[in-house]
A and B are shown apart, each in its own frame.
Chain A
Amino acid sequence: MVINKGILEIRNLSKSFVVDNNPLQVLKNINLTFPSGTFISIIGSSGCGKTTLLRIMLGLETNYEGDALLDGERIEGPGINRGIVFQDHRLLPWLTVGENVAFGLDGKNRKEKKLIVDEHLKLVGLNGFESAYPAQLSGGMAQRVAIARALANKPELLLLDEPLGALDALTRMHMQKELERLWILEKITMIMVTHDVDEAIYLSDKVIIMSSRPGIIKKIIDIPLPRPRDRAGSDFMQIKAEILKEFHLGTEYPFAYAI
């Protein structure tokens, strides 16, 4: 078995779109390495190109300059070695929970499918819900199913596009613990785009801060804190202050200027 899977390297990556006949650069000269089995968050203001970056990693945007390499191979299209969880759970309303989890499991027979579905629903704590419909679930439960669906293909890389953005604050913190538990269990590389600085610090080995127009890497911050992390600890707060400073939200700025 190959252990070092899910290594993502991004080299000199740039991406432009044409808007009204003018080229608009959304990503400029991005260089990043995501080692196998790490949890890395990307934060940045809207329009910094983080969603485009994620789409390139997924293989939905193939027309880019530079290289995005997964285990040494250039990403040229979607593949089941990468899973994605969107901000909206994106479960198909006409399928049951079980059928949704099995959505990407083509080529497997019924028995194998059932086994994988059961295993992954159990993993996210939703065993017994396979015949429920998504409309019957709460937001947190639906997002768990979406995570189960993404993990069912045994991806090497799990991409999370603001996965908890639509949840209320308490459910959100609960789901952060869940994500951490799943990450430790599955030992796969996870890359999360988020707006929530606390969430990024709580979960990540590294936080990448991007700035916009064009999207560049502004700073990479290591989070060497032991897990599980204490959200109210002084180390945690110190890192948070450091990140907020990058967004000009640090406390050394008087309010009058910050606004």
Chain B
Amino acid sequence: MNINEKIKVKIVGIIFPLLLLILWQYVVSAGYVSHHILPLPGSIILKFVRLITHEKFLLHIAVSLRRVFYGFFIGTLSGFLFGLLIGLSRTSEKIFGPFFHTVRQVPLIGWIPLIVMWFGMNEFPRILIVAIGAFYPTTMNTFAGVRSVPTQYVELASVYGFNKIKLIRRIILPSALPSIVTGFTLSLGMSWVLLVAAELLIETNVGLGKLIDVGRETFNMELVTVGIITAGLLGFIMTKIVERLASGTQKGRVSDQKK
């Protein structure tokens, strides 16, 4: 794709949101929908600009980011280790696999009441929910990555007399890396989804979820919308960053997919 085509693709992708925005502006300013229910795009932008310089708003964001960071870190690290374990050892897959796949069926939001009863309304349960959400995608993609290492590569390692540790370090991990990184990306998306849910459902003083909740309570639709858009935007940026980092791990493998 040359640059001109890339720009064309971008423009085509902008048409629909733009039409939606025009329609939005129209239905509100023509009086079909009250601006109390659906604020005008312009007033949301104004609100956003006013808030962005506000210390309190930045604190909400910072606290939310911190929760996501801890939850994501704990969830992906344990997911990676667990996925590696059940990927490498058939015995441990037999022991833990059925339990894991059963528990996985519990909708993640369903954990919240139980976790609150166990740990109370504080920081830990919020992080734990995010961690649980991050755990599954990384576990499953690590497992799949380890299991799909071509046997030819494993045979190559035995030709060179590699022991188990060396086999994992030199063959299995590099071979599974793209899949593991895909797991991280999916986990990040999951973390972000669960963060907002946890902040809405587990009473807190600060965080993007709280901001949205305050907006709801005070019937401040601009605030609610700004909260939602900020959450979406941050999720988008973080995913882009991880994807950019992930593309580095695909080195040498890009043209594999073409064949």
Contact = CB atoms under 8 A, between A and B. Distances in A.
B159 A135 contact: no
A103 B174 contact: no
Nearest to B250: A94
- The binding surface of chain A is classed by DSSP as loop
Given A92-B153, A94-B174, A94-B177, A134 B252 contact: yes
B53 interface: no
Nearest to A132: B252
Interface in B50-96: none
Contacts of A133: 251-252
Nearest to B161: A78
A93 B256 contact: yes
Chain A interface residue number, banded = 20 to 34
Given A79-B161, A95-B252, A90 B175 contact: no
Contacts of A80: 160-161
A236 interface: no
Interface in A98-112: 103-104
Nearest to A79: B161
Contacts of A56: none
A60 B160 CA distance: 10
B160 A104 contact: yes
Contacts of A103: 160
Given A79-B161, A92-B153, 19 more contacts: A60-B155, A60-B158, A78-B160, A80-B160, A84-B159, A90-B152, A92-B171, A92-B174, A92-B175, A93-B253, A94-B175, A94-B177, A94-B252, A96-B252, A134-B252, A135-B252, A135-B254, A135-B255, A136-B255
- Top 4 A-B pairs, shortest CB-CB distance: A133-B252, A135-B255, A94-B174, A104-B160
Interface of B: 152-153, 155-156, 158-161, 171, 174-175, 177, 251-256
Interface of A: 58, 60, 77-80, 84, 86, 88, 90, 92-96, 103-104, 133-136
